[in-house]
A and B are shown apart, each in its own frame.
Chain A
Amino acid sequence: MFDFDFSKPIVDFSNFEFSQLGEALIFGGSMLLIGIAAVFAVLCILWLFLTVFKLVFHDLPKRKAEKNKLAPIVVIPEKKVEETTVNDGEIVAVIAAAIAMAESENSGMKFRVVSFKRV
């Protein structure tokens, strides 16, 4: 048998009445303790996880880096990169010649390469 009062939910706090002021204080006090304990518990768990974060992502890499610092440093001579000194005028001439060869047969267009830019 379901015995229900439609006007109220299972625990109807909206119509909750304390018969004595003491009851209200005891309920309020217990909620105070439960509530603060719940907030502290959740945030303490987060604290714990963030401490693990610090260990994994900060302290361990730092220690590794420090260990690496202690290892003898082997100096590897840098390879000299040869600078290519190409005459810009030559490149202009080559590009102009190539375009001229490609275009002259079909269109007969006249053109002149004024400048070029490195990409």
Chain B
Amino acid sequence: MLDAISNFLSSTGIAKMFSGESGMPWWQTLAQYLIMYVIVGVLFYLAIAKKFEPLLLMPIAFGMLLANLPGAELIHLEYFFDDYYFTVENGEFTGTLAFQVESFVSNFLQYESFYTLTEDSFSVNIDYAVDAIRSLGYNVDAAYIQEAFKTYVSGAYLDAEGVIHIEMLTVIKEVINHGGLIDILYLGVKLGIYPSLIFMGVGAMTDFSPLIANPKSLLMGAGAQCGVFAAFALALFLGFSPMEAGAIGIIGGADGPTAILVTKELAPHLLGAIAIAAYSYMALIPMIQPPVMKLLTTEKERTIKMTNLRTVSKTEKILFPILVTGIVCLIVPDAAPLVGFLMLGNLLNVSGVADRLSKTAQNELINIVTIFLGVSVGATANAANFLRIETLFIIALGLLAFMISTCGGLITGKIMCKLTGGKINPLIGAAGVSAVPMAARVAQDVGRKYDSSNFLLMHAMGPNVAGVIGSAVAAGVFLSFFR
């Protein structure tokens, strides 16, 4: 009886909180949990009391809370953070697939001359192995060796160039058999489903007419992506790996789903910190942008009134998403999951023949996915992952990326203002950071502050939606380089 009570007490989360984890003293583990609860509290405060992006910050904060409840085991990050791998350390195989690789060597590559095992690498002389096996009377080729590898190292495969890949199915099987609730939800992030579905909803809600009417605003959307690449360079300078730097840089694109898609591919261990930084800064745009806008523009420029935009025909609206998908995805195929779904959502809306689908994409579907995405992304921010010096760097670099992007858009706006003889108000350039429609509203508010009869909203929507396409292209550039 006493044993049963003792077992029950030791299985509680409170006992685990005081027990010390990963060789840490109990007080350190306890302190980590308490710090995480304070951060969760701050996020709840920002979401509920301050209404900063509540639809996303609240699920993210709750996901963080769930991930930091000891014993709940709702998420197992080891399933997702490249834990299915093997490597060679001091001449021995290590990692979760080490046993299977050893089996491959001992059963298939029985003779040491078929392979070379050094302190940190494992190389196979496939030609030699093929010749030796053929001399025994078997008709084999390099593909046969690859097939043998697949048999012995289940869950991984060897490509024609000799690179090992871990199969996603291995991870999925493990999640289904032993995973927690959030592990299953997180598969939507890992497989890149949620960001694309959210983009479809955004596409269905977005009116691209201002951009079609004034295509010059695409340049401001492009100029506002310089923060992405500047933050990338700065992150490299601070010692982050190129993949991590790419994930950090994309915060400057001011686009949550894009940041999540890039990070889950390039640096999944930073997902929690990057998602929280991206969404927090998007919510803080009305505070971050105006000082930069005032710094880089003159009062005369801020009061420039722009001429009314032409009306856009329905044919143009229908052709636009098809055209953008074709052009962008042919040039940067890695941007297809984002741009393709953004434009699909838009086509559903503008075609006028799929109202039910369009309404679903912009209401029920996007809401459901937002909950799943928020909770599962928040759950990646456990104490061990989040309480690091890198998180502070990410938050600082994210802010810098936002500000540089704003500067890039404004400077492009100023150049265009000069070139058009003062017909373009440079303030709308700041809306080139995507964050639809928040950034456009900020441009409108700042403009009206200096001339209450100046309406910039529709003009600012052009660079704003151009920024969405621009940040997706920037994401595609990173993915094509580093994936």
Contact = CB atoms under 8 A, between A and B. Distances in A.
B87 interface: yes
A91 B332 CA distance: 71
Contacts, number: 152
B368 interface: no
Given A47-B216, A57-B316, A42 B161 contact: no
B230 A32 contact: yes
Nearest to A28: B233
B83 interface: no
Interface string B295-333: 000000000000000100101100110011001100110
Interface of B: 85-88, 101, 120-128, 142, 161-164, 211-212, 215-216, 218-219, 221-222, 225-226, 228-230, 232-234, 236-237, 241-243, 245, 310, 313, 315-316, 319-320, 323-324, 327-328, 331-332, 466, 469-470, 473-474, 477-478, 481-482
A72 interface: no
A35 B228 contact: yes
Contacts of A57: 313, 315-316
Given A32-B229, A53-B316, A58-B313, A1 B127 contact: yes
Given A25-B233, A50-B215, A16 B242 contact: yes
A15 B332 contact: no
Interface string A68-109: 000000000000000000000000000000000000000000
Interface in A33-77: 34-36, 38-47, 49-51, 53-54, 57-58
Considering the complex of A and B, which 5 residue pairs feature the smallest CB-CB distances, nearest first? A28-B233, A4-B162, A50-B215, A7-B87, A2-B162
Given A14-B243, A53-B316, A6 B122 contact: yes
Contacts of A38: 332, 473-474, 477
Contacts of B323: 46, 49
A39 B222 contact: yes
Contact of B123 (A3, A35, A43, A49): A3
A35 B471 CA distance: 11
Contact of B473 (A15, A43, A50, A51): A43
A47 B473 CA distance: 15
A47 B218 contact: yes
A31 B122 contact: no
Contacts of A40: 219, 222
Name the interface size band of chain A.
35 or more
A9 B162 CA distance: 9
A43 B125 contact: no
B407 to A, nearest CB: 13
B233 A32 contact: yes
A43 B236 contact: no
A42 B332 contact: yes
Contacts of B142: 2
Interface in A7-33: 7, 9-10, 13-16, 18, 21, 24-25, 27-29, 31-32
Given A2-B162, A45-B327, A28 B241 contact: no
Contact of A13 (B241, B313, B469): B241
18 contacts: A2-B124, A2-B125, A2-B161, A6-B87, A13-B482, A15-B241, A18-B236, A28-B236, A28-B245, A31-B481, A39-B222, A40-B219, A42-B327, A43-B466, A44-B219, A44-B222, A46-B469, A53-B212
Contacts of B215: 46-47, 50-51, 53-54
A46 B162 contact: no
